[in-house]
Amino acid sequence: MTFSIYSALAGGALIGLAAVAMMATIGRIAGVSGILANVLKPASALHWQWAFVGGLLASGLFIHWLVQPVVIQVQSSSVMLVVAGLLVGFGTRLGSGCTSGHGVCGISRLSPRSLLATGVFISFGVLTVFVLRFF
């Protein structure tokens, strides 16, 4: 699969449309980390949260069935991947949300906290790539 600006635009439009639909229908933002956190605590999960996570999983399986799977070659050790995942989880909790909640939903609502959080996400992402590539 090669990069196409049209695929990226279509994907972004679908993410935006899904966020608008969720806000319009149930009045909630599509903050994936918060939704997933509630699903992992069964006493607090609501039916729509289970449906949301199920839809994410089902859509991944559907697209895998629909198109040629992309071969991903990870060049980092398993330890590095686990550490990276833990850091992302920690940052998500520290920042009170993830890129979907802040970057997609928060910025579209002109939330100052989300504007700041997204700027921090991007800045540290750039810094991380710089450090890992050059040091």
Supply the pLDDT for residue 2. 74
Supply the pLDDT for residue 1. 63
Could you give phi then psi for residue 68, rounded to 5 degrees?
Answer: -65, 125
Are the C-beta atoms of 52 and 115 separated by less than 8 Å?
Answer: no
Alpha-carbon distances, residue 90 vs 32, 78, 86, 87, 128 (angstroms): 15, 18, 6, 5, 15
Query: If the chain, 135 residues long, is cut into consecutive pieces of 10 residues, what is the mean pLDDT of each piece?
Result: 85 92 92 88 83 93 86 86 90 87 90 93 91 87
Q: Where in the chain are the domains?
A: 74-135
Cα 65 to Cα 81: distance, rounded to the nearest angstrom:
26
Among 90, 94, 131, which Cα is nearest to 116's?
Answer: 94
